Amino acid sequence: MKGGKDGLYEDLKRRILTMELDPDADLDEAGLCEQYGLSRTPVRETFRRLAGEGYVEIRENKGTRVSPMTHATLRQFFLVAPMVYAAIGRLAVQNFKPRQLAELGDTQERFRAATGARDALAMVLENNRFHEIMGEMSANAYLRPSLGRLLIDHARIGHTFFRPHDVEMERRLGLAVEHHDGFIAAIAAHDEEAVVDLVFDHWELSRENMELFIAPQGLKADALVEAGGSRSEKSS
C-alpha cells in the first residue's frame, strides 16, 4: 500500500472497483487520515476527486459513501453502456496516438497473464484499464466522464461473477482475451466498423456474464429439504 494522498486515491479506486468496499459503504475519514498519515484536508480533497469521477458520493452532514448500485442505476447502465462504448470505439480509431496504442498492448498482456493465472482481482483492474485507455484515445471531453462512470459499475458487477473451474466461464474468458486482441488490431488498422462490431460482441459477452450473476438459476427447495432430511436421518 502506498502512503500519502496519491496512495489513498489509488487504493480507494482499487478497493471500490474490486468490491473490497461495498456499494453504499461509508468511508471512515478519521481512520483514513491515521492510516495514510494525512490531515483531513488532503483526505477530503481525495474524496472530492473521487466524487467527480463517480466513485463516491459526498453527502452534506452525513459523510462520504461509496457510490451505490441500485435497481435504477443498473437499469440505466444496461440501457446506455453499448451506445457509449460504440461511440468511444469510433472516436478512438479517429484520434488515437501511437503511445496510447502501445499502452493498450501492454495492458492487454497484463490482462492475458491475469486471465491465465485466473487472478480475478488483476483481471478486473487490467480490463478496466484497457477500456479506460480506449476512452483516453477518444479524446472526447463529453463521453469520457460517462465512460468512466460506466466502467466503475462494469468492474464491480464483473468481479462478482467470476467462478474458477467453470468450463463456460473459461470459454468466456478466452473470448474476452480474443476481443481485446481484436480491438488492438482494428484500431491499428483504422477500421471503425470492425471496432464497433467488436464493441457489440464484447458487450454481449459481458451482458450475458452479468445476467448470470444478477439472475442465477434458482435453487430447488425440494433438494434442500431432501438434503436436510438426509442429515436428520443420519443423526438419528
| Tens digits of residue pLDDT in 150-177 | 999 998 887 655 566 667 778 888 999 9
Torsion on CA atoms 166, 170, 171, 174, rounded to nearest 10: 170
Entry field: residues in the chain: 236
DSSP code of residue 38:
-
pLDDT at 234 over 60: no
pLDDT digits (tens, 9 = 90+) for 53-62: 999 999 988 8
Neighbours of 233 (CB within 10 A): 8
Query: Under 8 Å CB-to-CB from 63, ≥6 apart: which residues?
Result: 26, 27, 29
Can you give the pTM of this predicted structure?
0.83
Distance CA 82, CA 207 (A): 10
Instruction: Look at residue 225 and tell me if it is in a domain.
Output: no
Question: How confident is the model at residue 222, as a pLDDT?
Answer: 64
Please check whether residues 41 and 18 belong to one and the same domain.
yes
> What average pLDDT does this structure show over 27-53?
95
CATH number assigned to the domain comprising residue 100: 1.20.120.530
Instruction: Look at residue 230 and tell me if it is in a domain.
Output: no
Which helix (H) or strand (E) segment is 65 a member of?
A: strand 63-66
Identify the domain containing residue 180 by its residue range. 71-214
CA 228 to chain centre: 38
Question: How confident is the model at residue 168, as a pLDDT?
Answer: 75
Work out the pLDDT band at 225, boundaries 50, 70, 90. Answer: low
Question: How confident is the model at residue 223, as a pLDDT?
Answer: 58
Please check whether residues 47 and 157 belong to one and the same domain.
no
pLDDT digits (tens, 9 = 90+) for 90-149: 999 999 999 999 999 999 999 999 999 988 889 999 999 999 999 999 999 999 999 999
pLDDT digits (tens, 9 = 90+) for 162-221: 566 667 778 888 999 999 999 999 999 999 999 999 999 999 888 876 776 565 566 666
State the Cα angle at 159 between 106 and 118, rounded to 5°.
60
DSSP string, 40-59: HHHHHHHHHHHHHHTSEEEE
Distance CA 141, CA 202 (A): 24
Q: Which of 128, 214, 235 lies closest to 176 in space, CA to CA?
A: 128
Question: How confident is the model at residue 169, as a pLDDT?
Answer: 77
The count of structural domains within the chain is 2
Question: How confident is the model at residue 118, as a pLDDT?
Answer: 86
Dihedral sign from CA coordinates of 11, 15, 18, 23: negative
**C-alpha grid cell, residue 168:** 463456460
Examine the fold and report which residue of 17, 33, 66 is the final residue of a domain before the chain moves on.
Answer: 66
Please check whether residues 62 and 14 belong to one and the same domain.
yes
